[in-house]
């Protein structure tokens, strides 16, 4: 008969083996601690005079728990000053210093979304990455577009889209500066900061890379694009580009954002932009965007570090269902891990 001490030892072997085999930043092995509503920038100018369609458009969608808050404004002149916040996710009881930081930037077509918008699967990445040993910060940034009225036609012009992009990039760069300045407080390595953005959040991440004012270690662009193709070749930050080739919201190749003329798009988006556009005949005139296909072509031509993961025939935001959900997250984890190891 086996001694009790050996029985106890062998009963623990599976757990000991798991602990030995689990590799930080690749495998989920931590419980998670979340701290909400921390300030990263104070007294930022926000648009303040909301358009009446803001509330009416929400009522056109699905039940309230499925409909995002929409932010349409009457003008860009009336402002108020508010703070910008982030939610922090980190491994619980972790004593490691100099941990990599991942900044998560939500989507929402510049009129909706938030740092804790659980309707966006990217928010679930916060838990997944923190469980692997990362510090993760999901940030809010300024959202909202101005609705103009001309000859009884409501429209959003391309200049206001550009303003929204510029404000968002300023906010993202402000977040990067904040974490670099407070690296010791959060036990992060200021030289290992990554950005993950989806949709409009990916647009902000890519534009931040183009400006290269606040350098980061790497960027993950989930169906992103840029309005500046002339300076894509200047991107020095390693990038992972993930995109569906039939995306009708953010063009895979090039074109305007949010193709509401598509019947498939109108059927797919039953709330938010599409409801407002259909009911109130809003004309969306976005700038011309250059998507992941164009970005990949330019970066490849200039031999700049980047990876691609393109899904033939898929549209926008497909990573909420299998097998794509697991595939995309695995590619993100592999990309981050590769550049953590890089000198």
> What are 32-61's pLDDT values in tens digits?
999 999 999 999 999 998 887 766 555 444
Please give the model's pTM, rounded to 2 decimal places.
0.87
- Residue 9 is assigned to a structural domain of this protein: no
Mean pLDDT to the nearest integer, 9-19 = 42
Alpha-carbon distance of 201 to 206, in angstroms, equals: 9
Contact of 155 with 83, CB cutoff 8 Å = no
Whether residue 22 lies inside any domain: the answer is no
CATH number, domain with residue 269: 3.40.50.1820
**Residue 166: what pLDDT?**
96
Residue 15 pLDDT more than 60? no
Residues shown for the chain: 343
Tell me the mean pLDDT in the region 256-262.
Answer: 61
Per-residue pLDDT, 19: 43
CB atoms within 10 A of CB 13: 9
Query: How do residues 81-102 score in pLDDT, each as one tens digit?
Result: 999 999 999 999 998 989 999 9
Q: Is the pLDDT score of 104 beyond 70? A: yes
Sequence-distant (6+) residues with CB within 8 A of 222 are 122, 196, 197, 198, 199, 201, 202, 242, 243, 319, 328
Per DSSP bridges, beta strands 153-156 and 306-311 are unpaired
Q: Answer yes or no: is 247 within a domain.
A: yes
Query: Is the model's pLDDT at 287 over the cut of 90?
Result: no
Say if 264 falls within a structural domain: yes
Domain encompassing residue 224: 28-341
Q: How far, in Å, are 12, 70, 153 from residue 8 at the CA level?
A: 7, 58, 76
CA–CA separation, 110 and 145 (whole Å): 7
DSSP state of 194: E
> What is the count of structural domains for the chain?
1
């Amino acid at each position: 008969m086996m001694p009790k001490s050996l029985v106890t030892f062998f009963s623990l072997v599976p757990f000991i083996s798991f602990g030995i085999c689990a590799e930080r930043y690749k495998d989920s092995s931590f419980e998670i601690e979340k701290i909400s509503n921390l300030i990263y920038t104070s007294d930022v100018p926000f648009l303040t005079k909301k358009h009446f369609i803001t509330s009416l458009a929400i009522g056109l969608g699905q039940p309230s728990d499925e409909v995002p808050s929409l932010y349409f404004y009457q003008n860009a002149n009336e402002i108020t000053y508010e703070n910008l916040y982030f939610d922090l996710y980190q491994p619980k009881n972790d004593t490691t210093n100099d941990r990599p930081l991942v900044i998560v930037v939500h989507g929402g077509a510049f009129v909706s979304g938030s740092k804790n918008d659980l309707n966006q699967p990217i928010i679930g990445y916060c838990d997944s990455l923190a469980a692997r040993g990362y510090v993760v910060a999901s940030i809010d940034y300024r959202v909202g577009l101005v609705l103009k009225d001309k000859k009884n036609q409501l429209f959003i012009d391309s200049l206001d889209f550009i303003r929204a992009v510029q404000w968002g990039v300023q906010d993202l760069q402000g977040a990067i500066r904040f974490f670099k300045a407070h690296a010791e407080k959060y036990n992060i390595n200021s030289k290992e900061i990554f950005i993950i953005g989806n949709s409009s959040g990916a647009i902000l991440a890519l534009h931040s890379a183009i400006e290269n004012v606040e350098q980061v270690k790497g960027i993950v662009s989930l169906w992103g694009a840029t309005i500046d193709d002339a300076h894509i070749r200047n991107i020095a930050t390693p990038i992972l580009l993930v995109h569906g080739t039939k995306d009708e919201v953010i063009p895979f190749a090039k074109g305007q954002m949010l193709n509401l003329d598509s019947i498939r798009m109108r059927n797919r988006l039953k709330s938010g932009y599409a409801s407002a556009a259909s009911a109130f005949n809003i004309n969306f005139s976005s700038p011309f965007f250059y998507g992941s296909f164009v970005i990949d072509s330019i970066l490849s031509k200039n031999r700049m570090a980047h990876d691609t993961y393109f899904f033939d025939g898929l549209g926008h935001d497909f990573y909420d269902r299998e097998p794509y959900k697991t595939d995309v997250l695995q590619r993100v984890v592999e990309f981050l891990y590769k550049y953590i190891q890089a000198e």
